[in-house]
Structure 1
């Protein structure tokens, strides 16, 4: 069981770019919820630099072991964006940078007593023109995205990666504002193209949901429901895009194919068997990706799917002890107190006896006791909602049943699901 939970957490970290917290979900971040955003885009790097040049590699000198010759590289300035330099000026930098004549590099640096240069970045003329014309980071995000949307999946991978980074760093609300500018005829084809960088699939699935039509919905549905026992990066964003297009019908399909079954179903709806005749389990990553998509619809989907239907879909996962604690997190954050009796009965039962599961349930009940109407305190006994009083009673029972774990949760003052 411990090995399974280690694998599970490693999978979560992979699917979320390592930005996962078990109790404060990645979907609370302001940036694209399914994108692995870069530390700095090229535009941000240029904005923070004092010197920005396009330079051509001239030659380089390797160092001698005895120290008689120092490593050095020479560049010829071809264009200046920032800094007191002139075209055709020769720069000599310390350190050996391999290169070829006519090879171009983006040179950035910071002014001190001497310029502190970043590592030269190999760049094409087309990529430099893209960077030079890019809007400043202080402009409204939605307006900036209208520039970068034209460069998604550009032939120059540096450009395509950077344009993706701009979207990955953008809040979803701003991404939604440029839906009319998206390349509608290309998005779903990028999702299913095996040549597409897997790190970009979540974004492209999400964009498909914003700009797609019924045919795109069919493409995403076929992709999502195909049997798979591999970790499919970006599936969370692809499913989210699908739910934006399909609404209630898509949610029903998601429950049937991802949230409810423990085993993979083949095209005929039968349980898929491996070579030894054993049922093939649904990978944790598939179920977790579907749960993230349900959570996305809760936060960003507006009225596309009713909140009660999203809660009902997440409650299905409570039958899956391998992943139910994640559902408990979301249901507590969504203030679904209808499962108080159910969780009390599950506490400590088969599959729910591991410490992490117990803590999740205890935290759920702590959260229920703190969901108070405005102006009401825990001292106002007569005004307390039913879920608060029931939560208090169940916590007392759990303290009698499992005092060590309950005390540990209280003492650590874990962040509640808010």
Structure 2
């Protein structure tokens, strides 16, 4: 156990200032250093492991209390700390952007350092979660010529199998910068080709999904046409059928029904996806197709229909805000 003196309270109970607390740490802590620590509860307070912070980090932490809860002004504050030398500060700034919407990131596009973003993408030592964020940055501040960076990263992956380009974000950025030409390449390489690696196809689907819901560089109808190519790959078709239904693309009623009829064990997941597509579709042809499928495999149709009673689509569970009992403090070993 370490005895530490609270020198500043950033959030929580001001009365903790100048008090001495005891905290546990699995690593040896230097004396006469300053630490950041978060506490929970009141009787007694439970403290997280202390994180040593620099003087500059304290300045960063003090600035957090003056920020709005969301929006471009908040992101603008964190933007200048992405290159901070203190890893705690840089990681916290990255995490803020990871939680931001693309709309908010687009609002600070003119403040992004394009050259730094590109250098981060080329740096193999950058963790993949940060590389993915940099692809998002480049989609907002890059030029059409920067689309070639996608091929550069693919070549790097061919040379070094451990290198992860962050394919979903990379493909989304490539489409954003290259437009129709980029989408055509993605279709050919990752959607239409049965030789494409599963993870690359999955990444391409996610990238197109982001474009259809947030980026809006290309019309959703064009993006749906790209996803429809996956219906020629029965073992992966279930990945895109819900997107087609969500986007109201009802042009594939016959094809989806046929996938159900021809599904083998390897493609078994396409069956419930097909039922949900046909069940959601408002067209009479979908209802007729569903009844044909019911005659073929009533049990699967019934199970899929039953699942719709309990699952109406993706849901999110909000994280509760910190209570007044939570305390965040700057600490110094006494």
Q: TM-score, normalised by structure 1?
A: 0.67
Alignment check: 8 A CA contact 2:236 2:267 kept: no
State how far apart, in whole Å, the 1-side matches of 2:163 and 2:295 are: 41
Residue number among 177, 192, 203 corresponding to 1:260 in the alignment: 192
State how far apart, in whole Å, the 2-side matches of 1:320 and 1:226 are: 28
| 1:187 counterpart residue number | 117
| 2:135 counterpart residue number | 205
Matched, 1:356 2:277: no
State how far apart, in whole Å, the 1-side matches of 2:89 and 2:298 are: 57
- After TM superposition, give the deviation of residue 393 of structure 1 in Å: 0.6
Within 5 Å, which residues of 2 pair with 1:355-394? 355-369=268-282, 388-394=283-289
| 1:84 counterpart residue number | 15
- After TM superposition, give the deviation of residue 251 of structure 1 in Å: 0.4
| 2:320 counterpart residue number | none
| 1:37 counterpart residue number | none
Aligned length: 308
Structure with the greater relative contact order (CA < 8 A, sep ≥ 6): 1 or 2?
Answer: 2
Q: Deviations over 1:156-200 (max 9, x none)?
A: 221111101111111221111111111111112212311111112
- After TM superposition, give the deviation of residue 417 of structure 1 in Å: 6.3
- After TM superposition, give the deviation of residue 226 of structure 1 in Å: 6.7
State how far apart, in whole Å, the 1-side matches of 2:302 and 2:162 are: 39
Alignment check: 8 A CA contact 1:343 1:361 kept: yes
Q: Deviations over 1:282-337 (max 9, x none)?
A: 321111111111111111223x2122221111111111223111111111111111
Within 5 Å, which residues of 2 pair with 1:130-149? 130-136=60-66, 138-149=68-79
Larger radius of gyration: 1
Alignment check: 8 A CA contact 1:217 1:242 kept: yes
State how far apart, in whole Å, the 2-side matches of 1:393 and 1:352 are: 25
Alignment check: 8 A CA contact 1:200 1:234 kept: no
Q: Deviations over 1:115-154 (max 9, x none)?
A: 5433322222222221112354644421110010111243
State how far apart, in whole Å, the 2-side matches of 1:195 and 1:331 are: 38
Greater mean deviation of Cα atoms: 137-146 or 394-403: 137-146
Over 3 Å counting, the alpha-carbon distance change for 1:348 and 1:294 in structure 2 is same
| 1:298 counterpart residue number | 212
Unaligned ranges ≥5, structure 1: 1-71, 264-281, 370-387
Q: Deviations over 1:216-259 (max 9, x none)?
A: 22212432577657794632112112211111111011112211
* 2:22 aligned counterpart, secondary structure: strand
State how far apart, in whole Å, the 1-side matches of 2:273 and 2:156 are: 32
| 1:99 counterpart residue number | 29
State how far apart, in whole Å, the 1-side matches of 2:153 and 2:24 are: 49
Unaligned ranges ≥5, structure 2: 315-334
Q: CA RMSD in A?
A: 2.6
Q: Deviations over 1:353-403 (max 9, x none)?
A: 64321111111100113xxxxxxxxxxxxxxxxxx1101110111111111
Over 3 Å counting, the alpha-carbon distance change for 1:96 and 1:324 in structure 2 is closer
| 1:249 counterpart residue number | 181
Greater mean deviation of Cα atoms: 169-178 or 226-235: 226-235
Within 5 Å, which residues of 2 pair with 1:272-287? 282-287=196-201
Alignment check: 8 A CA contact 1:363 1:416 kept: no
* 2:240 aligned counterpart, secondary structure: helix
Matched, 1:73 2:8: no
Alignment check: 8 A CA contact 1:321 1:351 kept: no
- After TM superposition, give the deviation of residue 84 of structure 1 in Å: 3.2
Alignment check: 8 A CA contact 2:186 2:204 kept: yes
Matched, 1:405 2:308: no
Over 3 Å counting, the alpha-carbon distance change for 1:96 and 1:409 in structure 2 is closer
| 1:172 counterpart residue number | 102
Within 5 Å, which residues of 2 pair with 1:209-248? 209-224=139-154, 232=164, 234-248=166-180
